[in-house]
């Protein structure tokens, strides 16, 4: 490789630098550093004429490394690297430092000391620059097709969006029919219309002005959309952009293309089982269809229920010859670039809350069961009955927070149950004004546009609200009545509410196969079992797995409006990911020196993104290998590898070492030198903001930037102490806000371990401290730097 010729560009920031620092002395110092071929000064270098100076210097081939002292963090770096790249130099041969916010401003009271520190900062940047290597871009193919798992309201909307954007979409639904939980709900808030009503697709052939039932919307006829019902994902292989997904399809035993839904088969079927779709309030045959507004509009045979394959009465009677009892399960392999998980949630089984006797007293039901009753197409044709004796129910009590906000079962608020109860109470009171409806609640939560109006409407209709969570439901067998024992807290009086029907507003919990699916896809679940997003604030539908997205109730219980927003977001993210049919990525990644890899298997577990796998080598050995496509370049693996076999392309070990030595080679203060190793995320921005907001801290503190605090090795700490640091600060994100998930937490543990090690070496463990900061805590960085300095002064000089 060509010898390094470094160009150094020092911005004065409109005199802000020279006001404090002796910029002449600094320039002379830089000029004399080995390898420096060009030095320029200007007010600024990241735009306009200043940037042109850099471009000229690169173009004229005077230099092949660029070091810029600028003062607009991040933005200046992006502008400079882009210009340098356009000028023909690899953008990773650029090093940008900040003399204003990291030196001149925080040390403005001590210009001499600050000038010496500036020299050290520049020396470190120049020495690092000399070791920089070009980093190339890689291109990975991406299939423009998406798998959507879950055919409920979330999955259907995401599938529709993507199909209409010309992606091939596979919609995989576990059940034999689309619609999910929503289809069972009958009516919806806040639109008071049918649950099965969805937006007609945006096709030229079909009017988009209306919303129609799933089966009339034309949803199934969208080009590029392939619907696989009765199917589930069993295996995932490949990489983002190019997955191979194995889907297992259960036989339907009815040929979808032939069935005419004439119902003759069901009429002769001898098997009757409880109908799950109708919350078991009704029975259905072993061959059945979830009538009437459903997709696909064809029958299915419930394998479990149909135990008499020999009977075949349905086969004989079918006029379309659609029934094929010899269908076998099949496996389909799909090649997709991206995956969206939309598996929804389900009602919690409240029978564990024994004081409510669900499953024991037939007249204690859940909201879903009530919803089926309220549905004109439902098992009771819209009449509310007591399941125990089928008589009309006149006195109805709702109990909120059943299994929700309950540390024993599900600690979270399920968020939609208050609204469901209000909706159902209003429906009942509207249809049966003489019905006696009471809602027992802990807190009514009606956050959402128009939601409070439901609360108001319910009061208007005479729904009674009792603030208090019932302790028990008692059955009085003589009158076949339920008694709800509750305290009316506002009256401070114990009530015994007589009821014909008690409706439990149960918690909403993850779908049952969430855990299995998370295992197959390599996704994380949160403590409640819902799919965990990459970042709750800004990336709510992305996951740690690049290319896999989540939406709807699979992430937390949601109402339909929020589910819609969520699914469109996931669709957009998937589309953005696959838009160009290829994924282009800078190879700022980790790589393994296979010679040193000892097959200890730590790094694959450590990597928060699953980028590292073990690949077999000859004679039964395995070595770690990093997927450049998946790797985020955080360096946590580097910090964890016990034999130092992993390095980052964008921050090699020799670059770290040379910076440590350079930063500590000049003191210029009477204070003990401190090396602060900060992550490039919250940690470094806190240092930036400390300077930007004019905080003061002594110039003996020198900052070294690494991608993530999790990258820090004990070796780095020891090297700093050897190179003259009297103490080391590790500055990272908050452990639960780490931009690389686990890095800051791992760093904290490592610091604790290193402290013990230092103690064993006879070094005071107080010389090492970890700080967790966020951007706005610049004042806390300055304070930490001051306190650390004071503490080290008290400890006296380090004796190695």
Binding site for other proteins (CB under 8 A): 354-355, 401, 405-408, 442-443, 467-472, 474, 485-487, 489, 492-495
Taking a C-beta distance cutoff of 8 angstroms, is the pair 14, 106 a contact? no
Burial class (CB in 10 A: 0-12, 13-18, 19+), 307: exposed
**Closest CB to other proteins among 356 and 609?**
356
**Closest CB to other proteins among 97 and 401?**
401
- Minimum gap (Å) between residue 203 Cβ and other proteins: 49
- Minimum gap (Å) between residue 748 Cβ and other proteins: 24
- Minimum gap (Å) between residue 732 Cβ and other proteins: 31
CB atoms within 10 A of CB 382: 14
- Minimum gap (Å) between residue 467 Cβ and other proteins: 7
Beta-ladder partners of 323: 254
**Closest CB to other proteins among 471 and 654?**
471
- How many residues can be counted in the chain? 800
**Closest CB to other proteins among 109 and 360?**
360
Kindly give the residue spans of alpha helices, DSSP state H, lying in 408-559. Answer: 417-431, 451-460, 514-521
DSSP string, 381-445: TT--B-TTT-PBP-EEEEEEEESSS-TTS--S--SSHHHHHHHHHHHHHHH-TT-EEEEEESS--
Taking a C-beta distance cutoff of 8 angstroms, is the pair 647, 657 a contact? no
Which DSSP letter does residue 543 get? -
- Minimum gap (Å) between residue 752 Cβ and other proteins: 22
**Closest CB to other proteins among 353 and 677?**
353
CB atoms within 10 A of CB 646: 26
Taking a C-beta distance cutoff of 8 angstroms, is the pair 589, 631 a contact? yes
**Torsion angle, alpha carbons of 21, 25, 28, 29, to 10:** -80
Distance of alpha carbon 781 from alpha carbon 774, whole angstroms: 9
- Compute the half-sphere exposure of residue 442: CA atoms within 13 Å on the CB side of its CA: 14
- Minimum gap (Å) between residue 411 Cβ and other proteins: 9
Beta-ladder partners of 477: none
- Minimum gap (Å) between residue 389 Cβ and other proteins: 20
- Minimum gap (Å) between residue 484 Cβ and other proteins: 9
**Closest CB to other proteins among 390 and 408?**
408
**Closest CB to other proteins among 158 and 397?**
397
Give, to the nearest 10 degrees, the angle between helix 560-578 and helix 153-164. 40
**Closest CB to other proteins among 408 and 794?**
408
User: Measuring CA to CA, which residue among 358, 441, 345, 341 is closest to residue 398?
Assistant: 441
Chain-centre distance for alpha carbon 767:
37
- Minimum gap (Å) between residue 502 Cβ and other proteins: 14
Taking a C-beta distance cutoff of 8 angstroms, is the pair 721, 761 a contact? no
* Alpha-carbon distances of 522 from 235, 237, 248, 544, 627, rounded to whole Å: 11, 11, 19, 9, 15
**Closest CB to other proteins among 73 and 468?**
468
**Closest CB to other proteins among 7 and 403?**
403
- Minimum gap (Å) between residue 424 Cβ and other proteins: 21
Taking a C-beta distance cutoff of 8 angstroms, is the pair 747, 729 a contact? no
- Minimum gap (Å) between residue 528 Cβ and other proteins: 15
**Closest CB to other proteins among 488 and 779?**
488
**Closest CB to other proteins among 263 and 485?**
485
Taking a C-beta distance cutoff of 8 angstroms, is the pair 606, 640 a contact? yes
Decide: helix, strand or coil at residue 145. Answer: strand
- Minimum gap (Å) between residue 409 Cβ and other proteins: 8
- Residue whose entry in the numeric block shows the structure tokens 């697709």: 201
CA 101, 104, 108, 114 torsion-angle sign: positive
Cα three-residue angle 662-667-669, rounded to 5 degrees: 160
- Minimum gap (Å) between residue 497 Cβ and other proteins: 10
User: Measuring CA to CA, which residue among 614, 543, 664, 530 is closest to residue 127?
Assistant: 664
**Closest CB to other proteins among 472 and 512?**
472
């Amino acid at each position: 490789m060509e010898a390094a010729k470094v160009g150094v560009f020092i911005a004065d920031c409109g005199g802000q630098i020279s006001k404090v620092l002796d910029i002449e002395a600094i320039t002379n110092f830089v000029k004399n550093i080995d390898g420096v071929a060009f030095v320029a000064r200007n007010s600024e270098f990241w735009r306009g004429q200043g940037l042109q100076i850099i471009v000229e210097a690169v173009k004229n081939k005077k230099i092949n490394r660029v070091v810029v002292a600028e003062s607009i963090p991040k933005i200046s770096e992006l502008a400079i690297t882009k210009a340098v790249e356009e000028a023909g130099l690899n953008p990773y041969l650029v090093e940008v430092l900040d003399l204003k916010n990291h030196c001149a401003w925080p040390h403005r009271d001590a210009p001499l000391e600050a000038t010496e520190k500036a020299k050290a900062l520049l020396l470190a940047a120049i020495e690092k620059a000399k070791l920089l290597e070009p980093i190339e871009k890689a291109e990975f193919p991406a299939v423009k097709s998406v798998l959507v798992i879950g055919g409920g309201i979330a999955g259907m909307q995401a599938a529709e969006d993507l199909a209409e954007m010309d992606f091939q979409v596979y919609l995989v639904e576990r059940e034999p029919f689309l619609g999910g939980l929503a289809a069972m709900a009958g009516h919806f808030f806040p639109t008071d219309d049918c649950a099965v009503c969805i937006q007609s697709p945006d096709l030229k052939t079909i009017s988009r002005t209306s919303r129609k039932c799933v089966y009339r919307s034309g949803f199934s006829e969208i080009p590029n959309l392939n619907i696989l019902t009765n199917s589930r994902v069993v295996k995932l292989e490949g990489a983002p952009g190019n997955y191979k997904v194995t889907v297992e399809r259960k036989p339907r035993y009815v040929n979808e293309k032939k069935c005419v839904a004439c119902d003759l088969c069901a009429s002769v079927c001898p098997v009757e089982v409880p109908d799950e779709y109708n919350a078991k309030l009704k029975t259905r045959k072993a061959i059945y269809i979830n009538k009437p507004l459903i997709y696909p509009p064809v029958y299915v045979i419930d394998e479990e229920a149909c135990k008499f394959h020999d009977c075949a009465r349905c086969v004989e009677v079918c006029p379309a010859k659609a029934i094929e009892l010899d269908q076998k399960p099949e496996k389909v392999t799909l090649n997709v670039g991206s995956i969206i998980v939309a598996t929804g949630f389900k009602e919690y089984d409240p029978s564990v809350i024994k004081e409510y006797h669900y499953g024991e007293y037939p007249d204690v039901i859940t909201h879903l069961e009530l919803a089926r009753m309220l549905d004109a197409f439902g098992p009771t044709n819209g009449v509310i009955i007591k399941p125990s004796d089928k008589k009309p129910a006149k006195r109805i009590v709702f109990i909120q927070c059943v299994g929700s906000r309950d540390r024993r079962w599900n600690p979270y608020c399920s968020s939609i149950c208050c609204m469901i109860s209000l909706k159902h109470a209003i429906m009942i009171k509207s249809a049966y004004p003489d019905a006696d409806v009471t809602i027992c609640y802990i807190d009514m939560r009606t956050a959402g546009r128009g939601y409070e109006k439901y609360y108001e409407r319910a009061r208007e209709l005479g729904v009674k609200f009792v603030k208090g969570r019932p302790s028990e439901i008692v059955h009085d067998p003589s009158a076949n009545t339920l008694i709800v024992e509750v305290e009316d807290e506002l009256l401070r009086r114990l009530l015994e509410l007589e009821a014909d029907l008690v409706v439990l507003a149960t918690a909403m919990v993850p779908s049952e196969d969430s855990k299995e699916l998370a295992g197959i896809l390599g996704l994380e679940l949160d403590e409640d079992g819902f799919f965990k997003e990459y970042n709750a604030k800004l990336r709510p539908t992305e996951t740690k797995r690049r290319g896999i997205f989540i939406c709807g109730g699979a992430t937390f219980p949601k109402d339909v409006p929020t589910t819609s927003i969520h699914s469109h977001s996931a669709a957009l993210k998937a589309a953005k990911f696959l838009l160009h049919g290829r994924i282009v990525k800078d190879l700022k990644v980790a790589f393994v020196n296979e010679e040193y890899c000892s097959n200890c298997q730590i790094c694959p577990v450590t990597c928060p993104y699953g980028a590292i796998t073990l690949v077999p080598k000859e004679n039964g050995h395995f070595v770690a290998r990093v997927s450049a496509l998946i790797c985020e370049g955080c360096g946590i693996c580097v910090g964890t590898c016990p034999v130092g076999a992993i390095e980052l392309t964008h921050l090699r070990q020799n670059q770290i070492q040379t910076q440590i030595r350079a930063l500590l080679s000049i003191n210029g203060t009477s204070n003990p030198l401190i090396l602060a190793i900060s992550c490039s995320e919250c940690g470094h921005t806190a240092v930036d903001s400390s300077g930007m907001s004019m905080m003061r801290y002594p110039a003996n503190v020198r900052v070294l930037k690494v991608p993530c605090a999790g990258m820090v090795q004990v070796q780095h700490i020891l090297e700093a102490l050897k190179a003259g640091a009297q103490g080391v600060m590790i500055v990272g994100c908050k452990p639960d806000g780490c931009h690389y998930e686990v890095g800051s937490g791992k760093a904290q543990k490592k610091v604790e371990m290193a402290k013990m090690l230092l103690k064993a070496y006879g070094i005071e463990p107080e010389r090492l401290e970890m700080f967790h900061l966020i951007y706005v805590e610049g004042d806390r960085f300055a304070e930490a730097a001051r306190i650390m300095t004071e503490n080290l002064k008290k400890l006296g000089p380090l004796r190695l």
